[in-house]
């Protein structure tokens, strides 16, 4: 099986690279043509239609895993065309190519397709109503892929973090060494989800898809929610990060964390207040059950501690 992995140096893409190699021949692609460790790979700019088409043809992909995205939520408000090119128009190209050559597409989307006004976990068929440019571009990308006719898995996730890269956990650990007190939003609710879990469950879905009878396999394509179970606020997540980091020896001291309202921390883009996604469809169709977010946090803190002790990350 030929697999094209787009965005191979991102949080999820980096975690996907090795597990996908158990399924077939992987062609990794990044915007600068380099992987995290510096090794060369295919160079692809999703904002450049010709670059993307060339990569699709060159890879001769049977499965396209799109872990690339424009994720600068606030910056997107000032760069709507760039966000749309990467999150929307590129998906139309990927879907069109995949439909033409009978390839399958795995694509990652986001809780930002919802307005966050529910009090119940969002299901896949709930009405979407993005609050800003980023969410609209991701929703348009979903719809473009669906309209292409390509067989696909759209996996919506949220609050993604990892031991590497730019994310909330890494920011909190850095700020813990710089400040005695932090103010963190306490009225946005979600489920922090480790990138390596997303990779693990994606590969499990692909493996189980192959094992299904043809009729069941065709019915299993579509949209799924894939996040850790349970829920917390950003404030509660920050407190848990410091607790686990202190226990792992990553912090000598823990800063005081103060809960604040979203209104006290204004940003250019509006965030959904309630980002908890319902994983029941994933369990029903694939018999895959997401674990509580605290388990994922322990694992990622362990990865950070191991990487620091070996000098891989600072």
Per residue in 242-272, pLDDT tens?
999 999 999 999 999 999 999 999 999 999 9
Mean pLDDT, rounded, of the chain: 95
The predicted-structure confidence for 138-153, as pLDDT tens digits, reads as follows 999 999 999 999 999 9
Catalytic residue, candidates 70, 112, 134, 161: 134
Residues 2-13 have a mean pLDDT of 96
Is the confidence at residue 314, as pLDDT, over 70?
no
Print the domain residue range for 108.
2-163+192-229+276-292
CA pseudo-torsion sign 169, 171, 177, 181 = negative
Here the CATH number for the domain that contains residue 133 is 3.40.50.720
pLDDT the model gives residue 214: 81
- The answer to whether residue 269 is domain-embedded is no
Give domain status of residue 71, yes or no: yes
User: Is residue 134 flagged as an active site residue?
Assistant: yes
Whether 180 is covered by a domain: the verdict is no
- Asked if residues 61 and 27 have their Cβ atoms less than 8 Å apart, the reply is yes
Residues in CB range of 107: below 8 A, 6 or more apart: 66, 91, 94, 141, 142, 145, 152, 153, 154, 155
Q: What is the pLDDT of residue 213?
A: 82
For residues 186-199, average pLDDT: 98
Tens of pLDDT along 14-66? 999 999 999 999 999 999 999 988 999 999 999 999 999 999 999 999 999 99
**Per-residue CA distances from 249 to 173, 245, 246, 256, 301 (Å):** 12, 6, 5, 18, 10
Asked whether the beta carbons of 265 and 211 are under 8 A apart, the reply is: no
Q: With 90 as the cut, is the pLDDT of residue 215 above it?
A: no
Asked if residue 74 is part of any domain, the answer here is yes
284, part of any domain: yes
For 193, other C-beta atoms within 10 Å of its C-beta total 25
Q: Does the residue 205 lie in any domain? A: yes
Closest CA to 153 of 102, 208, 108: 108
Query: Is the per-residue pLDDT at 74 higher than 90?
Result: yes
Average pLDDT over residues 97-113: 97
* 141, 87 Cβ separation under 8 angstroms: yes
In terms of C-beta distances under 8 Å and separation of at least 24 residues, what long-range contacts does 219-223 make, across chains too?
A: 220/285, 220/286, 221/104, 221/151, 221/152, 221/153, 222/124, 222/152, 222/153, 222/154, 223/109, 223/124, 223/142, 223/153, 223/154, 223/155, 223/156
Largest CA distance in the chain: 58
Q: Are strands 63-66 and 2-6 parallel, antiparallel or unpaired?
A: parallel
Query: What SS3 state is found at 292?
Result: strand
Percent over 90 (pLDDT), the chain = 91
Give residue 218's pLDDT. 84
* Number of C-beta neighbours around residue 158 at 10 A: 22
**Residue 294 confidence (pLDDT):** 98
CA distance 194 to 313: 17
Residue 173 lies in a domain: no
- When divided into structural domains, the chain yields a total of 1
Residue 100 lies in a domain: yes
How does pLDDT run across 268-310, given as a tens digit for each residue?
999 999 999 999 999 999 999 999 999 999 999 999 998 887 7
Element (H, E) at 42: strand 42-43
What b/e sequence results for 218-247 when a residue is b if at least 16 CB atoms lie within 10 Å of its CB, and e otherwise? eebbebbbbbbbebbbbbbbbbbbbebbee
């Amino acid at each position: 099986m030929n697999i094209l992995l787009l965005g191979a140096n991102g949080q999820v893409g980096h975690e996907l690279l090795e597990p996908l190699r158990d399924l077939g021949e992987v062609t990794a692609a990044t915007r600068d043509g380099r992987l995290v460790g510096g090794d060369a790979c295919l160079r692809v700019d999703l904002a450049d239609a010709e670059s993307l088409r060339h990569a699709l043809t060159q890879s001769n992909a049977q499965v396209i895993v799109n872990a690339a995205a424009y994720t600068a939520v606030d910056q997107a408000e000032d760069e709507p065309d760039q966000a749309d090119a990467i999150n929307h128009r590129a998906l139309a190209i990927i879907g069109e190519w995949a439909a033409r050559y009978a390839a399958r597409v795995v694509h990652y989307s986001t809780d930002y397709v919802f307005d966050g006004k529910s009090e119940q976990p969002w299901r896949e068929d709930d009405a979407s109503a993005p609050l800003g440019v980023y969410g609209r571009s991701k929703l348009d990308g979903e719809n473009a892929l669906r309209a292409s006719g390509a067989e696909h898995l759209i996996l919506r996730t949220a609050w993604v973090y990892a031991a590497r890269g730019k994310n909330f956990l890494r920011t909190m650990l850095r700020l813990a060494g710089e400040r005695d007190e932090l103010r963190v939003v306490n009225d946005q609710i979600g489920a922090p989800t480790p990138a390596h879990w997303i990779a693990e469950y994606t590969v499990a879905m692909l493996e189980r898809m192959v094992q299904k009878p043809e009729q069941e396999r065709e019915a299993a394509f579509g949209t799924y929610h894939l996040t850790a179970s349970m829920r917390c606020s950003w404030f509660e997540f920050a407190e848990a990060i410091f607790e686990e980091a202190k226990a792992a020896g990553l912090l000598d001291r823990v800063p005081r964390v103060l809960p604040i309202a979203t209104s006290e921390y204004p940003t250019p883009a509006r965030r959904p207040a309630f980002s908890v996604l319902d994983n029941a469809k994933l369990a029903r169709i694939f018999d895959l059950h997401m674990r509580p977010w605290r388990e994922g946090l322990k694992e990622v803190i362990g990865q950070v501690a191991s990487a620091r002790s070996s000098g891989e990350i600072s």
